[in-house]
Amino acid sequence: MEKKNLIYLSLLVLIIIVIGAFYLLTKNQYVPDENLKESETGKKSVIVESETLTLKPGESKILSEDMRIRFGSSGTEFSVPDIIFGEDYNLNNPQDINYLPIYNTIELYDNGKIISLQKQQCETEDVLSDVLERHIVDCKIRINIEDSVEPKISETTVIKIIRGSDSTRPIYRPNYAMTIQGERVNENPLLYIGIPEFSFSGRSSSEDYKLGFTIITNFGIAEIIYIPIELFDEVTKNIQIGPAIIAITPQKNVVRSKNTNEDFSFQISINFEDDAENYPVNIINFTY
């Protein structure tokens, strides 16, 4: 009898252990976090920091050792904060530009993190000097920082023709002296082209009139410089940024006594001479 009771007790203990283990397994079952999002590589990234930053002209914020947001001191109507790759603006080398204006959204990659910047709104005020001027008081930038693997960049060759039209929106340089028509040519690999506004007469070969075509890629930013006669002669120019070779070929649509950017189209191309994975990715996306 005692032996039979011992068997029943053992079975009861075993049933309790099985039920308890099942409960613990189901209770601790992994449930995806709603903050997780799928990356292009199929892995997940999770938001680790989020804030809205308010910057006044002249102020800055360090994002990482290699990136900072800085708001120029002018505060004129078209002022916005810039993202700088490094400690300060690199203004003297068109082949190695290290800043971008935050006019809409920018997605960056830095040491295992995706940094998303979005301009939300800028407060303005009217200032009376010799004339009535509108100045920026401050701008709000939304910052999201996520842990993520490095994004995979496509090495697809891209060739497109962009018309030099005034219908595209302008980017304003830090000195606000030149407006540039910006257009995203391709998303992955990223290729964004800034076509400068221009107006000139004749086939001038003077180097006093230089036109900078801004190129934005996943691997950095640069300018290709033209003078008027090179536009008329449809000279192809190229530049290497990381593993990518970007080329521009002007195409005359109309020849008049006075030509503007609207009289030209531009063939833009990107191809890769080296493996993209051998180069660090800085910029994931840029929109005006």
Work out the end-to-end distance of the chain between its first and last CA atoms, rounded to an integer number of angstroms.
86
Cα dihedral across residues 215, 216, 217, 220: positive or negative? positive
In a domain, 152, yes or no: no
Q: Over 80: is that where the pLDDT of 159 sits?
A: yes
Check whether 205 has a pLDDT greater than 70.
no
Q: Are residues 121 and 222 in the same domain?
A: no
Distance separating alpha carbons of residues 207 and 93, to the nearest angstrom = 17
- Please indicate, yes or no, if residue 24 is contained in any of the structural domains: yes
**pLDDT value at position 41?**
39
Range with top average pLDDT, 7-21, 41-55, 246-260, 264-278: 264-278
Calculate the CA dihedral of residues 39, 214, 110, 54 and round it to 10 degrees: -100
Q: Residue 3 — φ and ψ, nearest 5°?
A: -65, -40
Backbone angles phi, psi at 10, to 5 degrees: -65, -40
Instruction: Of 117-121, 132-136, 144-148, 216-220, give the lowest mean pLDDT range.
Output: 132-136
Strands in 113-128's sheet, in edge-to-edge order, are: 37-38, 44-55, 132-147, 113-128, 105-110, 283-287
Residues 130 and 210 both lie in one domain: no
Per-residue model confidence (pLDDT) at position 115: 95
pLDDT at residue 33 is higher than 50: no
Band of pLDDT at residue 16, cut at 50, 70 and 90: low
Beta carbons of 225 and 212 less than 8 angstroms apart: yes
pTM summary value:
0.76
Whether residues 143 and 240 fall in one domain:
no
Q: Is 99's pLDDT higher than 70?
A: yes
Domain for residue 128, yes or no?
Answer: yes
Question: Can you give the residue range of the structural domain that contains 67?
Answer: 37-147
Please tell me whether residues 49 and 136 are part of one structural domain: yes
Alpha carbon of 120 to those of 37, 129, 139: distances in Å? 22, 28, 8
Is 153 part of a structural domain of the chain?
no
Tell whether 139 and 168 lie within a shared domain: no
Give the mean model confidence (pLDDT) for residues 260-264. Answer: 83
Give the model's pLDDT for residue 5. 55
Q: Are residues 274 and 169 part of one domain? A: yes
Map tokens 């910057």 to a residue: 55
Within 10 angstroms of residue 278's Cβ, the number of other Cβ atoms is 8
One domain, residues 260 and 199: yes
- Residue 184 lies inside a defined structural domain of this protein: yes
Greater confidence (18 vs 259) lies with 259
Please tell me the predicted confidence (pLDDT) of residue 37: 41
Cα separation, 259 vs 98, whole angstroms: 31
**Spatial distance between the Cα atoms of 65 and 61, rounded to a whole number of angstroms:** 11
Residues 6 or more apart from 80 whose CB is under 8 A from it? Answer: 71, 101, 102, 103, 119, 122, 136, 139, 172
Mean pLDDT over all residues of the chain?
A: 80
Buried b (16+ CB within 10 A) or exposed e, 212-246: bbbbbbbbbbbbbebbbbbbbeeeeeebebbbbbb
CATH number of the structural domain spanning residue 103: 2.60.98
Please report where in the chains the tokens 């100045």 appear, as a residue: 135
Element (H or E) spanning 85, and its range?
strand 82-85
Q: What is the pLDDT of residue 201?
A: 76
Clarify whether residues 123 and 203 are in a common domain: no
Q: What is the pLDDT of residues 45-95, one digit of tens each?
A: 556 689 999 999 999 999 988 999 999 876 677 788 999 999 889 888 888
Between 17 and 55, the more confident residue is 55
